[in-house]
Amino acid sequence: MTRDEVDAFLEREFPQVHHGGRTYFIEEVGPMSARLRMAYHERHIRPGGTLSGPSIMALAELALYVAILAQIGPVALAVTTNLSFNFLRKPAQRDLIAECRLLKLGKRLAVGEVAMRSDGESDIACHATGTYSLPDRR
């Protein structure tokens, strides 16, 4: 699927991702990869201007799902089985960019990693790895 097709699929199947105003944006999908942006929005902010852990984790989970959808097509039934996060640095007070790379796309399991950086920075703020269980395909 192209970027726009993934976007339309998510809006149709998971409208509540954008509940309260859209803050997650797909910037690009490629072979075994995806880049997403999370807008710096009061909903994601904790005291001191830092981004909340759950908003960062939601970005990573979504980035993995987008990268998988782009490869295997509209499969609502892929489910996360494992997610693991290393929080490395306090993110800056701006958008957070997630670069996802699939490490494996097997028949049953897809595994990927996500590096999240504050927009314009090179240091990784949070690194995630995750596994999705894929439905049987024909």
8 A C-beta contact, residue 123 and residue 133: no
Q: What DSSP element (H or E) covers 37? A: strand 33-38
Q: Does 72 bind a second copy (CB under 8 A)?
A: no
Q: Does 21 bind a second copy (CB under 8 A)?
A: no
Q: Does 87 bind a second copy (CB under 8 A)?
A: yes
Q: Does 81 bind a second copy (CB under 8 A)?
A: yes
3-class DSSP assignment, residue 14: coil
> At its nearest, how many Å lie between a second copy and the CB of residue 94?
18
Q: What is the dihedral of CA 13, 18, 22, 24, to 10 degrees?
A: -80
Q: Please select the residue that binds a second copy; options are 7, 41, 88, 119, rule is CB under 8 A.
A: 88
Q: Does 109 bind a second copy (CB under 8 A)?
A: yes
> At its nearest, how many Å lie between a second copy and the CB of residue 9?
12
Q: Does 5 bind a second copy (CB under 8 A)?
A: no
8 A C-beta contact, residue 138 and residue 72: no
Residues in contact with 32: Cβ distance below 8 Å, sequence separation at least 6, in sequence order: 67, 71, 101, 102, 105
Which residues in this chain contact a second copy in the complex, by CB under 8 A?
13-14, 16, 19-20, 43, 45-47, 52-55, 57-58, 61, 76, 79-90, 103-104, 108-109, 111, 113, 124, 127, 129, 131, 133
